[in-house]
Amino acid sequence: MKKNYFLSLVTFMLLSLSGIIFIQGYWIYTSMSNIEEEFSLTIRQALSSVAEEVQERELRYYFDRFETVIDSAGSPETSEFRDVFLFYDNDAPSNLSALHAFGILEDTYNIPSSDFGDINAATPKIKNFKGVRTTAILKETFDRENRISLTIEKLKDFERINAFDQATYKNFFTNIANTFPIHKRLNSYELDVILRRALIERNIVTPFEFGVFSDGLATKVTSNNYKESQKGPQYSVPLFLENEGVNTYDLVVSFPEKNTYLRSSIVGITLLSLVLTLLIIIVCSYSIYEIVQQKKISEIKSDFINNMSHEFKTPITTINLAIDALQNKNVKKDEEKVDRYLNMLREENKRMQDQVENVLMISQLDRGSTPLDLQSFAMNPLVEEAISHVALIVQSENGTISSDLKARKQSVVVDKNHFMNVFVNLLDNAIKYSLKAPLIKVRTFNEDDVWVFEIQDHGIGMNSETLKLIFKKFYRQQGGNIHNIKGHGLGLSYVKKIIELHNGTIHVSSTLEVGTTFQIRLPIATPKINV
């Protein structure tokens, strides 16, 4: 995968994910704003209906009292017609005509004020209004002399003008009601019932507290838990509006759990949205991780192929040259040269065979298909044998290798062949990554019941990023050109795998341009006691 394409893909995925998260957040924000606005509008409508119902209930109470008083008052003090309206209707085909008269009969009564409450006021004059409707039917007839005569039939009806009465008496009733304190006009229980019903009708089901205020001061009409410093958003509406639109009282309602109530309306869809968003984040993150890993694996495999090609190229070239030389007639006659070229063929062939076996061995170890031949061995002699394998190479590089094998407890249960490869791999790395003459120190010692092997070089060293990766399969530290240092990136991965299979640990410390130290720790074998 090309680097630019990879970066573009990752950037696009991150931008898409960021866009989804932003849209989800914006949707939640706007939804809460809309819900809160709708809630406030609904509350204002509910409070307006409550204020209207409270005032209508009071006026209806006084009007009912008025009806009772009028019915029992007897004859009015004065009566007079007001506002008479005439309407003439002529039906020519039927020779019938009608005259309609509409008027208002105004009766005046002297009513004791005590009939409307215990108030200190002069005896008021209360007017009662009735609608009077009169209809006169005119019919033309002919007598025996063919003279026209008119027949007149009058119909009179009285009716109460409720709407007019209420409008007429509203001011009177309001003046009477204003003489009483608010707790005698309206009690807390009544207001609670009206308010609760108005909210339920509008699907508002959440705790609330209320209080009635007069000129900014609290009155006795409040809910049980209402306080002037009530927490939560508050809404108010004027109560008992007078004719001029002036009000003395205000109903204040608060909702302590408003935010919780509003959030609950979208909590389901919000949680689902968040879960889906989280799922998208996880999927995108995992996809990016897999893409990165695949890219790394692709690069590692490519590096491995290049390194293996390089490792095989030299022996193949040597083998071809040796074969060409052996085909020369002059060389065939020289037994010494023939033996030398045959030895070269054998060594280079073994070199390639070792490379293939290393690759197959690490693959088998990963599958767990390679059994270990575990036996108890003295580890110091194994270390000395491994040193002898590389001694000539160190000498050819004008380097030195010193050993300090002080471990007294050295009996460890290991697979000898595998651990020999471990020691040789570590020694070989110390040689390869020493750009100057290699200076290698090897020592063993004991810490309690642990055998410790330590190898120190004065090579190129490693940075912190390299230290995290050196035990990964196919990874190789780069030294200028990739082929400057031979290897296929399996050595340290193999070393770590073998040590872990023996219940041991390996630790590495390094400093750039100073050197690297590997330390292996293995448990001492417990001797069997024969009973």
> 3-class DSSP state for residue 451?
strand
Please state the length of the chain: 531
The Cα 395–Cα 403 span in angstroms is 15
Judge contact between 372 and 337, C-beta under 8 A: no
Q: Is residue 352 part of a domain?
A: no
Q: Indicate left, alpha or beta for 32 from its phi (over 0: left) and psi (-120 to 50: alpha).
A: alpha
Residues 476 and 397 occupy one common structural domain:
yes
Residue 383 lies in a domain: yes
Among 197, 186, 187, 226, residue whose Cα is nearest residue 209: 226
Identify whether residues 237 and 98 lie together within a single domain: no
Q: How far is CA 34 from the centre of its chain?
A: 20
The rounded distance, in Å, linking the Cα atoms of 383 and 182 is 104
What value does the CA radius of gyration of the chain take, rounded to a whole number of Å? 55
For residue 434, what are its two tokens? Answer: 């020493």
Whole-number Å distance between alpha carbons of 221 and 251: 9
- Give the domain CATH number at 298: 1.10.287
- Give the chain's domain count: 4
Residue 411 lies in a domain: yes
Tell me if 364 is assigned to some domain.
no
List 110's β-bridge partners, or say none. 125
Backbone angles phi and psi of 526, in degrees to 5 = -85, 120
Q: Which CATH number characterizes residue 490's domain?
A: 3.30.565.10
498 lies in the same domain as 419: yes
User: What distance in Å separates the CA atoms of residue 355 and residue 351, rounded to the nearest whole number?
Assistant: 6
Helix (H) or strand (E) holding 232: none
- Confirm whether 353 is domain-assigned: no
55 and 198 co-located in one domain? yes
CB count within 10 Å of CB 371 equals 8
DSSP notation for 248-286? SEEEEEE-TTHHHHHHHHHHHHHHHHHHHHHHHHHHHHH
Instruction: Indicate whether 464 and 482 sit together in one domain.
Output: yes
Angle at 341 between CA 337 and CA 343, to 5 degrees: 115
In a domain, 531, yes or no: no
Are residues 274 and 243 part of one domain?
Answer: no
515: left (phi over 0), alpha (psi -120 to 50) or beta: left
Residue ending a domain, among 221, 256, 291, is 256
Distance CA 384, CA 382 (A): 5
Same-domain status, 436 and 468 = yes
Within a 10 A sphere around the Cβ of 394, how many other Cβ atoms? 20
Please check whether residue 365 lies inside any domain of the structure: no
- Assess whether 519 and 385 both reside in one domain: yes
Q: What is the pLDDT of residue 455?
A: 93
Do residues 76 and 107 touch, judged by C-beta distance below 8 A? yes
**Tokens linked to 367:** 């599958």
Q: Which domain holds residue 112?
A: 74-170
- 439-447, strands of its sheet edge to edge: 400-405, 439-447, 450-456, 515-523, 505-511
Asked if residue 267 and residue 252 are part of one domain, the reply reads: no
66 is a domain residue: no
Shared-domain flag, residues 246 and 287: no
Domain limit, last residue, from 147, 170, 193? 170
Task: Pick the closest to residue 165 from 128, 124, 125 (CA basis).
Answer: 128
- Residue ending a domain, choose from 312, 347, 382: 347
Mean pLDDT of residues grouped by 10 in the chain (531 residues)?
Answer: 69 79 80 85 90 83 68 63 59 60 64 53 59 64 48 47 57 71 84 90 88 84 76 80 74 85 78 81 81 76 70 75 83 82 80 72 66 86 87 84 90 87 86 86 92 92 83 60 46 83 91 90 73 40
State the distance between the two ends of the chain, measured CA to CA, in whole angstroms. 66
Are residue 395 and residue 487 in the same domain, yes or no?
yes
Q: Is there a single domain that holds both residue 269 and residue 407?
A: no
Euclidean distance between CA atoms 431 and 524, whole angstroms: 29
Do 314 and 355 meet the contact criterion of CB atoms below 8 Å apart? no
Q: What is the pLDDT of residue 240?
A: 81
Contacts 24+ apart (CB under 8 A), 93-100: 95/139, 95/140, 96/137, 96/138, 96/139, 97/137, 97/138, 97/139, 98/135, 98/136, 98/137, 98/138, 99/135, 99/136, 99/138, 100/133, 100/134, 100/135
The number of angstroms, rounded, from the C-alpha of 16 to the middle of its chain's C-alpha atoms is 16
Per-residue tokens: 255:
């909702």
